[in-house]
Each structure stands twice: as C-alpha cells, then as structure tokens.
Amino acid sequence: MKTLNIALTGLNNIDSPGPGVPVARALRAGGLKHVRIIGLAYDNLEPGLYMHDLIDRSYQIPYPSAGSEALFNRLKAIHDIEAIDVVIPNFDAELHNFMRISDRLKSELGIHSFLPDHDSFEMRQKSVLAEWGEKLGIKVPTTKPAFSWSEARQMASELGYPLMVKGKYYDAFTAHDADQAAAYFYKLSAKWGLPVLLQQIVKGTEVNVTALGDGTGGCIGAVPMRKMYITDKGKAWAGITLQDDRLLEIARTAINGSRWRGGCELEFIKTHDDQYYLIEMNPRFPAWVYLAVGSGQNHPEALVRLALGESVGPMTRYEVGKMFVRYSYDQIVDLKEYEHINTHGWL
C-alpha cells in the first residue's frame, strides 16, 4: 500500500513554539490515508524529534544560512531514502530558501509543496505592509522605516510616544520615550540590520486568524481566535474561536489581495470602536493551527491536498467558542536517541 510521505519542519515545540508538531497532529487527524511523517529539524533538541508516535522519522537539515543549494542537496539525500511526496516548511526564516528551490524539488525530485510566490511573500514584509494594506483598504498602524537614529527620532516625535520599535525580521518593543526608543533602535539594528521600524501603537484586543490561500485569490479556510492568556514571550497559551464576520472578510481580502498560496497567520488589533488594524501577516501556519482542526477546519490536510493537485473547496463553517489550552510536557528521552541524531543526522 502506497504511503503518503510528508516532510515538515518546525518541530521546536518549546516556550515559543513552532507549528510543526501541531501540523503533524492535524495530518494524522485528517482523512489522509497511510500518512508517514518525516520531521526536518535544525537543532538536536527540537522536541518533535523525540515524539515517535507523531513523527515517524526525523532528519537534520542545514540552517537557512547555509543557503538553498545546501538545503536542496540535503533534501535530495533524504528523499532518496524516504521518497517524500510533500514538504511543508513552517519557519519564517527558512521560507525564502524553500520558495527558491520549490520548482526544482517538484521537477527533479517530484516533491510537492504549496508556497507563496516571491511577490506575495515580499508584499507582506513589515517594512511595506502599510503600503500594501492601503492598496487593499486594510488598516495598518502607521509604520516608518528608519535608517539612522536621527531619522528615527524625528519620526518618533511625529508618531508620538509610546510607540513600537520593531526589528526588520523579528522582535518588537514598546518605547515610552526617546531614550528607550534609542536603546531599542540600536539593539534591533545590531541584531537584524536596517531599517528599524517605528510603529504607531493601536490599543485594543489582539485577534488572530489562521488561514489557507489557494494561490489564485481564493481563501480555502479561515478561523479567527482571540488570545485568552498570553505568556511573557507574547505567545498565546489559551485561545478561543470567535464569530466575527467582519474580521473574516478582512482576512479574505488580504488572502485575495496577495494571491496567497499556503498557510498564514494574520494578526490584528481590534480597537474599542471596532476598527481592525493588521499588525502582521506571518507566512506560515501559526502554532495554534490545531485549534482550527478542533473547530472543524483541517487546514494542514487541505494544504497537502492542494499541494498534490487535488481540488479543495472552501471551508466556511467552524465551531465558535472552541478553546485551546496549551500545556507543556516533559518527554523522557534515552541518551541513545540523542546520540543517534547527533552522530547520524537522523532518528
């Protein structure tokens, strides 16, 4: 019997979790037959490596900084053993390389993927999000890229304090005055390079949407959620699905406007006068994607079907008021396993 071999990354189910483990769970829960899951890990302590009920076998892959060629070669070697059918990358930082080699993966190795194209990936980058939002009529907090502190100080006084100071790729801090802003500016520019982004603070409730786009403008599924409890890393520890048609409408507009292909997470602030501001669009499923499954929409399964070329109709129903409550769990691991992944590169 032919198995469906699905490789995925993001097995770091730690305090700031990657979505790989929930995606694997979703694939097991869905209607796909004979699924075999192959984990792809960067670090030898990614918890998913050791979850043998969920992940059939794992391999280490080179860090994104090693380049797309190294990634391709490693995937090719793994493919020779595992005959991968579909690959699902789950990290922001690796997507660029996966997008770059996706055509070759398909044509040379027959590995399917379902990724955004370069243009849609770029249009949601933080530094241009506001511009893009304006085109689609989606509100985005005023965001300004600053290339020097003197420029930043000028912009900050126009925006007014407090404001958000954000790194080019990751990290965000609230600055209450110029001294704090300066400190964050230097910290973020050292870590992520220039520009550093200054963003107006919009007050309200954070609401998020996990969604799947078909690449032609269609939205295959979308489920909105409000975080009920947030960790000190800003991650949702518990959340609940919402009924919010306006929010879903905006999410569909974003998916449509970007011709988004694949999974994504849209982060919004809903103000007290019911305005929605798009804060970020993450180019992959969120770590809470299993809530969508639990409330009736299996986005990872749909993604696999789309990747394989099956036609998948839009999912519009989901259960409102479903919750997720995350927990942590200490796996017991034999040293032999740690040794194995380290010395052989697979487990």
Partner 1 sequence: MLPYERPIITRYNPGITNKFGSRVDYFPFTQIDGVPVKRIIDEYGSPCFVLSERTIRDTYRNALRAFSTRYPKVQFAWSYKTNYLNAVCQVFHQEGAWAEVVSMFEYQKALQNGVSGDQILFNGPDKTADDLRTALHNNSLIHIDHFDELYLLSEIVREGGKKARVAIRINMDTGVYPQWDRFGFNYENETAWEAVQKIMGQPNMILTGLHCHIGTYMLSTRAYHLAATKLAQLALKIKSQYGHRIAYIDIGGGFASGNTLKGSYLQGSDVIPTMDDYAEAITTALLGSGIPTTELPYLYLEAGRALIDDAGYLLGSVVAIKRLSDGRRATIMDFGVNLLFTSFWYDHRITPAQEFSRHTEDMVVYGPLCMNIDVVRENISLPLLNRGDQVVVHRVGAYNMTQWMQFISMRPNVVMIDREGGVHLIRERETVDTLNQQERTPAHLRANPQQ
Partner 2 sequence: MKVNKNIAISESGFIFNPGTGDSFSTNAMGQEIIRMLNEGKTREEITDFILSRYEVEKGILEKDLGDYFFMLGTYHIVQNG
Q: Which stretch binds partner 1 (CB under 8 A): 65-73, 133-141, 280-288, 296-304?
A: 65-73
Q: Which does 234 bind (CB under 5 to 8 A by kind): partner 2, partner 1, none?
A: none
Rounded Cα distance, 20 and 27, in Å: 11
Are β-strands 143-146 and 35-41 bridged in parallel, bridged antiparallel, or unpaired?
unpaired
Does residue 338 touch partner 2 according to CB under 8 A?
A: yes
Rounded Cα distance, 83 and 111, in Å: 8
- Among 135, 321, 327, 335, contact with partner 2 (rule: CB under 8 A): 335
Does residue 62 touch partner 1 according to CB under 8 A?
A: yes
In the range 14-43, which residues lie near partner 1 by CB under 8 A? 42-43
Rounded Cα distance, 93 and 164, in Å: 22
Closest listed residue to residue 224, CA positions, set 186, 276, 173, 261: 276
- Whichever of 147 and 229 has its CB closer to partner 1, that residue is 147
Q: Which does 62 bind (CB under 5 to 8 A by kind): partner 2, partner 1, none?
A: partner 1
Site pattern 41..60 for partner 1 (x: CB under 8 A): -xxxx-------------xx
Q: 119: how many CB neighbours lie within 10 A of its CB? A: 9
Are β-strands 236-241 and 219-230 bridged in parallel, bridged antiparallel, or unpaired?
antiparallel
Does residue 107 touch partner 2 according to CB under 8 A?
A: no
Q: What residues contact 156, with CB distance under 8 A and at least 6 apart?
A: 163, 175, 178, 181, 198
- Whichever of 45 and 194 has its CB closer to partner 2, that residue is 45
Closest listed residue to residue 48, CA positions, set 82, 90, 77, 86: 90
5 beta partners: 36
Q: Read off the tokens for 222.
A: 């979308």
15 beta partners: none
Does residue 43 touch partner 2 according to CB under 8 A?
A: no
Q: Which does 142 bind (CB under 5 to 8 A by kind): partner 1, partner 2, none?
A: none
Number of residues located near partner 1, criterion CB under 8 A: 30
CB of 343 to partner 2, least distance (A): 4
Q: Which stretch binds partner 2 (CB under 8 A): 100-108, 242-250, 288-296, 338-346?
A: 338-346
DSSP string across 54-72: T-SEEEE---GGG-HHHHH
Q: Which does 335 bind (CB under 5 to 8 A by kind): partner 2, partner 1, none?
A: partner 2
- Whichever of 84 and 219 has its CB closer to partner 1, that residue is 84
Q: Read off the tokens for 16.
A: 């700031």
Q: Which residue has the tokens 């879903």?
A: 248
- Helical H segments across 14-85, by residue range: 20-29, 68-82
Q: Which does 187 bind (CB under 5 to 8 A by kind): partner 1, partner 2, none?
A: none
- Among 3, 15, 81, 93, contact with partner 1 (rule: CB under 8 A): 93
CA end-to-end span of the chain, whole Å?
Answer: 24
Rounded Cα distance, 163 and 156, in Å: 8
Q: Which does 323 bind (CB under 5 to 8 A by kind): partner 1, partner 2, none?
A: none
Rounded Cα distance, 61 and 85, in Å: 17
DSSP string across 100-113: HHHHHIIIII--B-
Does residue 344 touch partner 2 according to CB under 8 A?
A: yes
- Whichever of 205 and 331 has its CB closer to partner 2, that residue is 331
CB of 71 to partner 1, least distance (A): 9
CB of 60 to partner 2, least distance (A): 13
- Among 36, 96, 226, 235, contact with partner 1 (rule: CB under 8 A): 96
**Binding interface with partner 2 (CB under 8 A):** 335, 338-340, 342-344
**Binding interface with partner 1 (CB under 8 A):** 42-45, 59-70, 73-74, 93, 96-97, 100, 147-148, 169, 193-195, 342, 345
